[in-house]
Every structure is written in structure tokens, then in C-alpha cells.
Amino acid sequence: MKPIAPSLRIDRRALLATLALLAALSATLLPASAPAQTPGGLLPSWNDGPAKQAIFDLVRATIDRSSPNYVFPEDRIAVFDQDGTLWVEHPMYTQVVFALERVPAVVAKKAELKNVEPFKTVLSGDREAMARLPMRDLYKILAATLTGMTVDEFKAEAKTWLETARHPRWNRPYTDLVYQPMIEVLRYLRDNAYKTYIVTGGGQDFVRVYAERVYGIPPEQVVGTAGATKYGYGKDGKPFLTKEPKLLLNDNNAGKVEGIHMMIGQRPYAAFSNSTGDRQMLEWTGAGTGARVKMLVLHDDAMREYAYGPAAGLPDSKVGTFTQALYDEAKKDGWTVISMKNDWRRIFAFE
Amino acid sequence: MKPIAPSLRIDRRALLATLALLAALSATLLPASAPAQTPGGLLPSWNDGPAKQAIFDLVRATIDRSSPNYVFPEDRIAVFDQDGTLWVEHPMYTQVVFALERVPAVVAKKAELKNVEPFKTVLSGDREAMARLPMRDLYKILAATLTGMTVDEFKAEAKTWLETARHPRWNRPYTDLVYQPMIEVLRYLRDNAYKTYIVTGGGQDFVRVYAERVYGIPPEQVVGTAGATKYGYGKDGKPFLTKEPKLLLNDNNAGKVEGIHMMIGQRPYAAFSNSTGDRQMLEWTGAGTGARVKMLVLHDDAMREYAYGPAAGLPDSKVGTFTQALYDEAKKDGWTVISMKNDWRRIFAFE
């Protein structure tokens, strides 16, 4: 998990009226029928500009056999951070919301937690107080709510929750809040024989529950923060795996590169991301030879989504945000910054 | 790594003359031209029998849309142990030979190891003494020889070694000593949209060096024992990953199931294996619904390869071998035992 604190600092005003207006407007902006298989018709939710162009340039350079930067299909790897890159991460990481909402069920089984912090605060329902919980308390909550069950039980719980939970601003399932421009990039890369991977600070088991349905990414192509599991036998002699409260891979910062090495074993040609937790993954991608794209989503659209990081002039001392220092490294090293406001014609499929 | 000790107990007589005779014979046994795309023409290095039939039955049941056991292509996962299942594991695991042969180079850089055990024994060249080294000493050797370098350096070293090293019995590169019948199974399953994985107690980074070339399995489909890596920067500011002497995943026994969960996230429909280190992986595969095959290679062919485990009446107290207890569990739970002697018409491609 990436630290949650910064996310909670951000503006939460629901701009639903404006959004409705924008949705109506964006529909008129979309071309009536886009020609298929030409760059003009691809990535229709993107405005023309350097970000869209960088994606086209990578694909052109790596699939053309006569190109000096040609890449064999089996080596075409693209990695995507999830929170803030593929879907909305505000006002909280979705998985943290899941964990918080599981607290009452956990306390019902373990009454002794009722008057113990941080569970007491969560049970109080005081969202401001929850937002102030330090990382170590959030880890306690994650460990208590997301481990100690079999992997099949976890999967079933997460699936049920995702079907019923709603994002407070849009009142829609969290899985609706994926960025349509990125869905188009995933498909475009796969159409060109790229293997697309999620490399997330979020929990691997959680993301795998919906990644195939939402992103077209199978479980084995989701790399995330992973806890240990423990093999055992039921009374009927049938084996099962239990989720243990022991961290195996902290898939943040340098852990993202270490996770890519362990789970993929190849250096990516494209990395899409949005925060300082992705810095090393971008550096690692950029240190390869040939054509490589390193892209950072800048959340600069308070109207249609949120504005935070350098775009909002927020303090940059927290991990998990797009800091000024990251922005500077991006400029220096030729990483491409995606402006949600300027580069994305449409943000959500439901608009 | 699986313990090495039992492997070293085994008969090492070189039966080259007999092998040459068998090679000549086996050529005459092969059909002059096998019809393609029919079961009769598939798996040509297999004799007809229950093992070959079990593989055909699985594929038929899982690819036929009208079958009650139909499996969607994205869920078709098959896992293969490596040592003793895909290639020869005697007289030693290949990776252990690699580690032992790297000792002089390591000692040349760290002279203080010269008179320290177990390095002293390895430097003595006394193979009998090396064979008696306990597991903890072998781990010391593996840690000293296969970590402390960048992942790129490791890859280059392993590649060079594999090109020059020769198996003592056949005097051929180790990568020639893969079982042709299993290469055919890998291809047959892939032709039917199965994703084929190696799930090995051997080192993941080592196997990934040659898995694509030898087995047609890309790096991301090799799950193995994995050590931690550490991200850092060179003097030129370029990032690199160093292999650390710290175990992340011990991919043996229950660790194989835990590794499958972490790296694949789906339960396999087919598991191929040969030792007690694979027991839990077979159980886990078998505990799924629908059609599942669980197969164990029995090394019962001292003439063409080796005979060990129950076939040779060897003691069954060691991990890493096909023990009598495993044989009994196989019979009880309906796992399929592959007799190398009876089920395999040809063992190596070079025969």
C-alpha cells in the first residue's frame, strides 16, 4: 500500500452539476465516426498533443521490423501503475475504503478490538478522524481486515464489496471510475502484441479480482503488494491457502522495480504512472536501450476529476503524490507528463 | 533449491555404448511420417498408454465448448517442475554444478574464503567429499556464488557457463538433456491455448536465462526459488538491481503452491512433476473442480537415463526424490505415474 495520508488532504467537493454539463459537452466534441486502424481513429479519448504522439511513436518504432528500435513481440512489456493512473485514487485508495468498511464485520467476530485504536476511530464513523490516522494504524487495519481468511474467501468478499460499494462523488461502482484514455492505451498496446501489466502499490490479490473484467488484464499480469500465504488442509483433507499478515513484496518505490524483476523478469518498454512511488519504475524503464516511454499522469483537472500535486501547488513532502521534485526529474529526463485537463478529451466511459 | 544430497547417492555409470545402441533402435521405432493434428501423430515420443491418454483426455475435455469441463482459454494453466521433470537432475542439479564451478572465481576475489569450509572442500576437487556436503553448506555456496552481482551480470555469467559446461555422462550441454516427450507436451498444450509455466525449486533467475530458447517459455512464466534484489545507482547515475543473499520465495513443497498463487494467481489444470517437493502442487491442482491432470515422472530407466526412487528401491527419507510415500499417495488419489521406461519411446532429441 502506498501511504494514504496525502490523498485525504485533497479537495473533495462534489462537482456533479459541472460534471453533468461537461459530459454533455464532451459528447459533442467526439467525432461522429472515427476511422479505424489509423492513428487518427485510435485513442479517440485523447486530444492531439505530445503525450498521444509519444505513445504512437513508441509503437511505430518498436513494431516496424526495419526500425533500429524494433522489439520482438515476446519482449514487448508495458507496465501501468493503478491508483491515480488507471483509476481514481481520491478521496482514498479504493482498497483502503474496502478495508475500512470491513472493520465492523471483523470487530463483530473479535469483540476485543471494539475499544482498541485504530478500530475505535473507524467504528466511530468520524471520517475526518479516519483521515488523520497514521500509516502504522492503516497497516493494522489492512492486516486485520484483509488477512486471516483463505484466498477464495478474500476473493468472494472483495467481489461482493465491489458490486455494492459506490464512490462518494459519482455514486458509481469504483470500477466505473477507470480512465477511458488509459483503457484505450491498454488495448492499443495489446493490439500491437504488447503484454500489459499492472504494477501497483495496491494489494495484488485485490486488484486481480477485477483486473480481467475492467482492464482486460489477467491475474498473472497483476504485480502488486503481496502478503505471504500459508498452505494447509481442511478437516476434509482438502488443501487451502490462508492469507497471512506478513509482507512479501512492498510494491512501491524501489519495490516496483524489484517486483518487476521477480514477476516479469524483463525491462518494460513503456511505463505509465502518476506518483513518486513510481519514480524508480520510470527510471528503470528509461535506463533501457532503444525506444522507451515514461509517462506521468498529472491530476490538473479539478472540474472533471481532481487537482493535486504540482498542478495544485500542494506541499510535496508526502510519498504517493506527484511532487514538484518528480515533476523536475520528469522534465530533466524527458519523461512525458500527461495533463488530464489538456490531453484527455474524455475521462470516464460513462461521460 | 531442493536439497541436493539424494541426487548424489545415485548410480553414475555412463552407459554410453548401450545408449548409442538404443538411439539407433529408437530411430527405427519411430513412424516414418506421423500424420499431423491427430492424436496418433501428436506426442510422437510417447508410447500409447494411460499417461499419453490422460494428456489427450484433459485437452479434449477442456477445449470442447460442449464439454461440461470446458475451460476458457485465459484460464488454461499448466505447470511443470523442472529438475527431473523437464530435464535430467542427476548426478546433481545443474544449477548446483554451476554454483560449484563458480567457487574458484569467487575465491580469487575473496582470498579469505580459501581455507574456509565449505569452499576448501570444493576447491579440493574431491567430488565424493562435495557430495557429502550438508544442505547448509550448499546454501552457503549458492549464496556466495550466485548473489552480490547485478542481475545483468548474473545473466551473462549463467549464459556463458551454459554454453561451455558439459554433462559428465553424455558430454553434451545441459540444455540438450531435456526430455523430448515433455517438449512435445509443452507444445501440444500451448497449441491448445494453455499457458505453460515452469514451477521449479531451482533459481528463477537461472532458469529464465534459457527457458525461452529451450522450452519456449518466456521469463515471466518461470516461477522459481527467488532471492531479493536491491535497487541502486551506479556512479553514472544509472540504476541497477543487485542480487541479495536473502530468500524471498522457497519454491519447494508448500512453497510451490504459495508461489503459484503469488506469480500466477490461478489454479492449474495440469501439473507435471517428479518428486516429493511437488506433492502440494499436485494436491492443489487436484483439488480444483473439473478435469485436472496430476502427473509424476518415475525415473525407472537406468539404461537410457537413471533409476531412482521407488523404482530403484532406494530409501525414501530424503526430500527431492520420488518416495514410496508419494507413490502411494499417487495411487490413492488417482495421479498418473509416467514410466520413463514404458511411456517414453524416445527420451532425448539427440537420440
Give the pLDDT confidence score for residue A321 in this predicted structure: 73
Mutate to test the interface with B, among A247, A262, A264, A332 (most CBs of B within 10 A): A262
* Partners of residue B21 on adjacent β-strands: none
Q: Give Cβ neighbours of residue B40 (< 8 Å, ≥ 6 apart).
A: B34
Q: How many CA atoms lie within 13 A of B136 on its CB side?
A: 1
Question: What does the radius of gyration of chain A's CA atoms come to, in whole angstroms?
Answer: 21
- Put simply, whether the predicted model's pTM sits higher than 0.90 gets the answer no
For strand B222-233 and strand B239-249, is the pairing parallel, antiparallel, or unpaired?
antiparallel
Euclidean distance between CA atoms B256 and B279, whole angstroms: 9
Other C-beta atoms lying within 10 Å of the C-beta of residue B254: 19
Contact B280 A239 (CB under 8 A): yes
B280 CB neighbours in chain A (<8 A) are: 231, 239
Q: Are B84 and B65 in contact (CB under 8 A)?
A: no
Nearest CA to A202 out of A262, A153, A170, A158 is that of A158
Contact B254 A231 (CB under 8 A): yes
Q: Please tell me if residue A322 touches chain B, with a CB cutoff of 8 Å.
A: no
Average pLDDT, chain A: 87
Q: Please report the residues numbered 113 through 142 in chain B whose beta carbons come closer than 8 angstroms to any beta carbon of chain A.
A: none
Euclidean distance between CA atoms A184 and A343, whole angstroms: 13
Q: Please tell me if residue B267 touches chain A, with a CB cutoff of 8 Å.
A: no
Give the pLDDT confidence score for residue A308 in this predicted structure: 85
Give the pLDDT confidence score for residue A39 in this predicted structure: 56
Which member of A151, A249, A263 has the closest CB to residue B261? A151
> At B56, which helix (H) or strand (E)?
helix B50-63
Contact A257 B239 (CB under 8 A): yes
Mutate to test the interface with B, among A208, A231, A289, A292 (most CBs of B within 10 A): A231
Nearest CA to A272 out of A336, A203, A341 is that of A336
Q: Tens digit of pLDDT for each residue in A271-286?
A: 999 999 999 999 999 9
Q: What angle do CA A132, A136, A137 make, to 5 degrees?
A: 55
Q: Please tell me if residue A208 touches chain B, with a CB cutoff of 8 Å.
A: yes
Instruction: Reduce the DSSP state of residue B148 to 3 states and report it.
Output: coil
Contact A280 B254 (CB under 8 A): no
Q: Please tell me if residue A212 touches chain B, with a CB cutoff of 8 Å.
A: yes
Euclidean distance between CA atoms B183 and B206, whole angstroms: 19
Contact B219 A262 (CB under 8 A): no
Q: Please tell me if residue B336 touches chain A, with a CB cutoff of 8 Å.
A: no
Give the pLDDT confidence score for residue A139 in this predicted structure: 87
Cα A262 to the center of its chain, rounded Å: 20
Nearest CA to A208 out of A154, A261, A248, A256 is that of A154
Q: Please tell me if residue A271 touches chain B, with a CB cutoff of 8 Å.
A: no
Q: Please tell me if residue B73 touches chain A, with a CB cutoff of 8 Å.
A: no
Predicted interface score ipTM higher than 0.90 = no
Give the pLDDT confidence score for residue A348 in this predicted structure: 98
Mutate to test the interface with A, among B261, B264, B279 (most CBs of A within 10 A): B261
Euclidean distance between CA atoms B200 and B83, whole angstroms: 7
Q: Are B348 and B176 in contact (CB under 8 A)?
A: yes
Question: Which amino acid makes up residue B73?
Answer: P
Q: Please tell me if residue A298 touches chain B, with a CB cutoff of 8 Å.
A: no
Contact A261 B229 (CB under 8 A): yes
SS3 content of chain A, % helix, strand, coil (to 5): 45, 15, 40
> At A159, which helix (H) or strand (E)?
helix A151-164
Question: Which amino acid makes up residue B72?
Answer: F
CA distances in angstroms from A85 to A76, A268, B18, listed in the order given: 20, 17, 63
A226 CB neighbours in chain B (<8 A) are: 262
What chain B residue is nearest to A240 in terms of C-alpha separation? B284
Other C-beta atoms lying within 10 Å of the C-beta of residue A172: 13
A151: burial class by Cβ within 10 Å (0-12, 13-18, 19+)? Answer: middle
Q: Please tell me if residue B149 touches chain A, with a CB cutoff of 8 Å.
A: no
Contact B263 A220 (CB under 8 A): yes
Nearest-Cα distance to chain A for B111, in Å, is: 31
Nearest-Cα distance to chain A for B242, in Å, is: 10
A189: burial class by Cβ within 10 Å (0-12, 13-18, 19+)? Answer: buried
Euclidean distance between CA atoms B217 and A195, whole angstroms: 15
Tens of each residue's pLDDT in chain A, 351 residues: 444 333 333 333 332 333 333 333 333 333 434 333 445 589 999 999 999 999 999 999 999 999 999 999 999 999 999 999 999 998 889 999 999 999 999 999 999 999 999 999 999 989 888 888 888 898 899 999 999 999 999 999 999 999 999 999 999 999 999 999 999 999 999 999 999 999 999 999 999 999 999 999 999 999 999 999 999 999 999 999 999 999 999 999 999 999 999 999 999 999 999 999 999 999 999 999 999 999 999 999 999 999 987 766 655 434 357 788 888 899 999 999 999 999 999 999 998
Euclidean distance between CA atoms B214 and B303, whole angstroms: 24
A219 CB neighbours in chain B (<8 A) are: 264-266
Q: Are B220 and A263 in contact (CB under 8 A)?
A: yes
What the block records as the C-alpha cell of B278 is 511437488
Q: Please report the residues numbered 2 through 61 in chain B whose beta carbons come closer than 8 angstroms to any beta carbon of chain A.
A: none
What chain B residue is nearest to A77 in terms of C-alpha separation? B220
Q: Please tell me if residue B213 touches chain A, with a CB cutoff of 8 Å.
A: no
Give the pLDDT confidence score for residue B40 in this predicted structure: 59
Instruction: Reduce the DSSP state of residue B324 to 3 states and report it.
Output: helix
Give the pLDDT confidence score for residue A108 in this predicted structure: 94
What chain B residue is nearest to A260 in terms of C-alpha separation? B220
Give the pLDDT confidence score for residue B88 in this predicted structure: 96
B212 CB neighbours in chain A (<8 A) are: 74
* Partners of residue A239 on adjacent β-strands: A233
B195 CB neighbours in chain A (<8 A) are: 220
What the block records as the C-alpha cell of B346 is 524416445
Which member of A218, A229, A287 has the closest CB to residue B238? A287
Instruction: Reduce the DSSP state of residue B222 to 3 states and report it.
Output: strand
Nearest CA to B275 out of B90, B83, B86, B102 is that of B83
Euclidean distance between CA atoms B54 and B285, whole angstroms: 15
Q: Give Cβ neighbours of residue A41 (< 8 Å, ≥ 6 apart).
A: A34, A35
Q: Are A279 and A294 in contact (CB under 8 A)?
A: no
A196: burial class by Cβ within 10 Å (0-12, 13-18, 19+)? Answer: buried
Q: Give Cβ neighbours of residue B283 (< 8 Å, ≥ 6 apart).
A: A239, B333
Q: Are A167 and A174 in contact (CB under 8 A)?
A: yes
Q: Give Cβ neighbours of residue B244 (< 8 Å, ≥ 6 apart).
A: B147, B148, B227, B228, B229, B230
Give the pLDDT confidence score for residue B233 in this predicted structure: 97
Q: Please tell me if residue B236 touches chain A, with a CB cutoff of 8 Å.
A: no
Question: What does the radius of gyration of chain B's CA atoms come to, in whole angstroms?
Answer: 21
Nearest-Cα distance to chain A for B345, in Å, is: 33
Give the pLDDT confidence score for residue A40 in this predicted structure: 59
Q: Please tell me if residue A249 touches chain B, with a CB cutoff of 8 Å.
A: yes
Rounded to 10°, the helix B279-286/B324-333 angle is 10
B17: burial class by Cβ within 10 Å (0-12, 13-18, 19+)? Answer: exposed
Contact A220 B266 (CB under 8 A): yes
B9: burial class by Cβ within 10 Å (0-12, 13-18, 19+)? Answer: middle
Q: Are A277 and A2 in contact (CB under 8 A)?
A: yes
Q: Which residues of chain B have pLDDT under 50?
A: 1-38, 316-319
Nearest CA to A109 out of A161, A139, A145, A152 is that of A145
Contact B265 A219 (CB under 8 A): yes
Euclidean distance between CA atoms A142 and A1, whole angstroms: 9
Q: Tens digit of pLDDT for each residue in B314-323?
A: 554 343 577 8
Instruction: Reduce the DSSP state of residue B94 to 3 states and report it.
Output: helix
Contact B229 A258 (CB under 8 A): yes
Euclidean distance between CA atoms A90 and A173, whole angstroms: 14
Contact A263 B220 (CB under 8 A): yes
